[in-house]
Amino acid sequence: MFIKKHLVLIFMLSFAHAAFADDGYRLWLRYDKIQDKNTAALYTKQLQQLLFPGSSATIEKVKAELTEAFTGLLGKPPVGTKQVTANGTLIIGTPATAKIIATLQPTELNQINDEGFVILTAILQGKTCTVISAKTDIGILYGTFHFLRLLQTQQNISTLHIVSSPKIKFRLLNHWDNLNRTVERGYAGISIWDWHKLPDYIDKRYIDYARANASIGINGTVLTNVNANATILSPQYLVKVAALANVFRPYGIKVFLTARFSAPIEIGGLKTADPLDAAVQAWWKQKVKEIYTLIPDFGGFLIKANSEGQPGPQDYHRTHADGANMFADALATYNGIVLWRAFVYSSQSGDRFKQAYEEFTPLDGQFKSNVILQVKNGPIDFQPREPFSPLFGAMPKTPLAMEFQLTQEYLGQGTHLVFEAPLFKEVFNADTYQKGKGSTVAKIIDGSTNNFSLTAIAGVSNIGNDINWCSHPFAQANWYALGRLAWDYDLSSKQIAEEWLQQTFSNNAFFVSAAYNIMLHSHEALVNYMTPLGLAHIMYNGHHYGPMPWGNTLGRPDWNPVYYHKADSAGIGFNRTATGSNALAEYKTEVSDLWSDSNTCADKYLLWFHHVSWNHTMRSGKTLWNELCYKYYTGVDSVIAIQQQWNTLEKFVDAERFNQVQQLLNIQVKEAVWWRNASLLYFQTFSKMPIPSKYEQPDKTLEYYKSLRFPFAPGN
């Protein structure tokens, strides 16, 4: 009897545990039952019935989402009504579909754009109602997701007055996914696009991908790698692309493709891909027509040309503008756009920092109106920290899109917890001074500085087919942050982190505040243990996993870490002042003045712009060498603090994700120590100074770190 009872208990316990396990698949759309009884009771009262007329593919998706959300959060689906018969009626519709909203005539609708929405508390027919309205069904979709976010984060919904429109027109994910399903710089499994089974097999993931994106306002996806394969443009593949576009359309998501510049040769049988050649132009026009026949709302092309071996117009002695404009002409009839990438650096010697500027600023004003230049946030390549790309302040006649990297190629890849919103905000808030003070990067990107309506923000996706999409449970937050900031770059990192935590993990106030603290400090911690004080690109060659500041064997100087840090017996750092490469001259003087003097330049950018002697006195009063040691040690200490903080949160998190994060933090601590020790031991060969004795000394030799090899590091 005792044994039997015992077994029942064990069974019950394990069942209870399983009920709380969470594999992370549902992302921030979990809709778990609201535990707080008062809130649940209040919401039930405030949401007694749902008046939701109209029907369209999008509206059907909204209704399905509401049913799922209400059933989960409140235990039952919404009760439909045709009239307002009770307090607590949720009314959803455009004035065209919902007559009752037309009678209300909310003036707020005049303040939003076509994707915007309003959420208002109103008295209608004597009853207190909540109204979600918009000009379009897509606006309704966004408004509904916003409302569901309020419920999931348990906000007060009794007096709502929300008027919201996206600040950026194209809010995009860029997948670096290959047709064989490998993902360049992907750390979360293989590509979610199962090309082989498309178009006939629609994986449920495609729908959940669309839901997740729509919930944060992402409205476009580039399906294929910038290092492009022309096969995607073949008829066989275009029907597969069309099948995905059909899934995404009701969610307001447009499909884009990368176009390989040499496709007319590779799949068109032409002898050239010269953008000024009439046959080439005709080929692209025909190809674009074929695409729009299959996908009437196709978004356009993203193109990497004459960069890292990709073909491009310069192969024919034409300019980037010649190349981009050829695509622009073909797409213009259909309102398609060209996202032309500015990530170029030729093999000519010189400072790589300067090259995009040198190639593109002479072309300012030469691009057709449906071309937008997509610029990485910094001048080099998604380093842990970079100053903003000088292009943002230097192309007043060309719309510029922001490209951030969500996949953590240089940010600890699959194993490090790094919340990128503070990095994104640092770039948005930087002032280019293009039209005087206040011409922040955000104000360039949103078109307001130079009056452009074509605006875009792209995030290089961190999504793969891992069960939780992004591998590290916290990496989901970067996808989330990209969407939220592309909608409104004024949102704070704090708000984004908190609402993400509440939806993804728990509404418990103690948990949210502690986990937010972890997220807030995570980026700076990584900068400190990898590339403090403005160091950059000292990662291992090729796969970029781990430190390799000694790397100097690759064919081109700018592929080698030693090119970036320039450490020698005199000091460390890249002199980009007038006595060096003078890259600083690419910024407005108000900006270059901030950085051109090594005594006043912010510590975080110091080695980006100066070759500084090991004895240089820093703001802190320490020598540069001691400051470097301090930063590396602080970085490791911060991760240990993060690890300790996470360990106090066990009772708030399901066992599955708690353990995942715990194990990943253990790896992160080890790797942070590796980064610190390898880097300091190497730089010490030049400084010839001791690591201050108060610090725990490296327990391995530089030779040991140099001997490490990772032939199968992922993402390469």
Closer Cβ to ligand GCU, 403 or 586, answer by number: 403
Dmax (CA) for the chain in angstroms is 88
Q: What are phi and psi of 66, to 5 degrees?
A: -65, -40
Kindly state the tokens that stand for 270: 């032409």
Instruction: Specify the residue, 126 or 309, whose C-beta has the smaller distance to ligand GCU.
Output: 309
352 binds ligand GCU (CB under 6 A): no
> In whole angstroms, how close is the CB of 190 to ligand GCU at the nearest point?
16
- Paired sense of beta strands 400-405 and 371-376, if any: parallel
304 binds ligand GCU (CB under 6 A): yes
The residue (of 31 and 479) whose beta carbon lies closer to ligand GCU is 479
Active site residue 36: no
120: Cβ–Cβ under 8 A, 6 or more apart, which residues?
106, 108, 130, 131, 133, 160, 161, 162
Shortest approach of ligand GCU to residue 716 CB, angstroms?
8
Say how far residue 715 (Cα) sits from the centre of its chain: 17
Q: H or E stretch including 147?
A: helix 137-152
Question: Which one of the listed residues 308, 490, 597, 650 is annotated catalytic?
Answer: 308
Binding to ligand GCU in span 402-441, by CB under 6 A = 409
Measure the CA–CA gap between 405 and 378, rounded to whole angstroms: 11
> What are the residue ranges of helices labelled H in 533-654?
561-565, 589-595, 606-609, 624-647
CB 301 to ligand GCU: min, Å: 15
Least separation, in Å, of the C-beta of 404 and ligand GCU? Answer: 11
Residue 226 touching ligand GCU (CB under 6 A): yes
Q: Could you tell me which of 166, 172, 165, 114 has the C-alpha nearest to residue 339?
A: 172
* Comparison of 343 and 674: residue with beta carbon closer to ligand GCU: 343
> How many beta carbons lie within 10 A of that of residue 48, not counting itself?
16
Residue 543 engages ligand GCU in binding (rule: CB under 6 A):
no
Cβ neighbors of 585 (< 8 A, separation 6 or more) are 578, 592
Angle at 470 between CA 20 and CA 298, to 5 degrees: 125
In the complex, the smallest distance separating the C-beta of residue 226 from ligand GCU, rounded to whole angstroms, is: 5
Which has the closest alpha carbon to 546: 412, 448, 406, 407?
Answer: 412
Instruction: Read off the tokens for 279.
Output: 């046959």
Shortest CB 530 distance to ligand GCU, Å: 16
Residue 227 lies near ligand GCU (rule: CB under 6 A): yes
Q: Is residue 466 flagged as an active site residue?
A: no
Nearest distance from C-beta of residue 376 to ligand GCU, angstroms: 7
Q: What would the two tokens of residue 317 be?
A: 């002695």
Cβ closest to ligand GCU, residue 304 vs residue 521:
304
Beta carbons within 8 Å of 269's beta carbon, 6+ residues apart = none
Supply the minimum distance, in Å, between the C-beta of residue 300 and ligand GCU: 18
Bridge partners of 660, per DSSP, are none
Answer whether 401's CB lies under 8 Å from 299's CB. no
Which residues lie below 8 Å from residue 4, measured CB to CB, with a gap of 6+?
A: none
Residues 137-156 that bind ligand GCU (CB under 6 A): none
**Is 356 among the residues that bind ligand GCU (CB under 6 A)?**
no
Looking at residue 251, the DSSP 8-state letter turns out to be G
Which of 98, 303 has the CB closer to ligand GCU? 303
Does the active-site annotation cover 409? yes
Encoded one letter per residue, x for contact with ligand GCU by CB under 6 A and - for no contact, window 601-640 reads ----------------------------------------
Annotated active-site residue in 108, 322, 409, 627: 409
- Going residue by residue from 435 to 474, which x/- string records binding to ligand GCU, judged by CB under 6 A? ----------------------------------------
State yes or no: residue 343 binds ligand GCU (CB under 6 A): yes
Position 175 contacts ligand GCU (CB under 6 A): no
Site for ligand GCU in 267-296 (CB under 6 A): none
Q: Is 15 or 712 the residue whose CB approaches ligand GCU more closely?
A: 712
Q: Please provide residue 121's backbone torsions phi and psi, each rounded to the nearest 5 degrees.
A: -90, 130
Torsion angle of the four alpha carbons 230, 383, 703, 676, in this order, in degrees rounded to the nearest 10: -150
Question: Looking at beta carbons only, is 302 or 636 nearer to ligand GCU?
Answer: 302
Is the CB of 264 or the CB of 378 nearer to ligand GCU?
A: 378
CB of 336 to ligand GCU, least distance (A): 22
Characterize the bridge pairing of strands 612-613 and 571-572. antiparallel
Find the binder of ligand GCU among 169, 185, 416, 631 (CB under 6 A): 185
If one asks whether residue 381 binds ligand GCU (CB under 6 A), the answer comes out as yes
- Of these residues, 68, 208, 381, 488, which one is catalytic? 381
| Residue ranges in 458-508 assigned as alpha helix (H) | 476-487, 493-504
* Closer residue to ligand GCU, CB minimum distance, 114 or 308: 308
Query: Which residues, at least 6 apart from 327, have a Cβ–Cβ distance to it below 8 Å?
Result: 259, 284, 300, 301, 303, 338, 371
Closest CA to 242 of 178, 191, 195: 195
Residues 6+ apart with CB under 8 A from 431: 437, 438, 439, 440, 441, 590, 591
CB of 378 to ligand GCU, least distance (A): 12
Number of residues that bind ligand GCU (CB under 6 A): 9
Q: Is 184 near ligand GCU (CB under 6 A)?
A: yes
Residues that bind ligand GCU (CB under 6 A): 184-185, 226-227, 304, 308, 343, 381, 409
Catalytically active residues, by annotation = 308, 381, 409
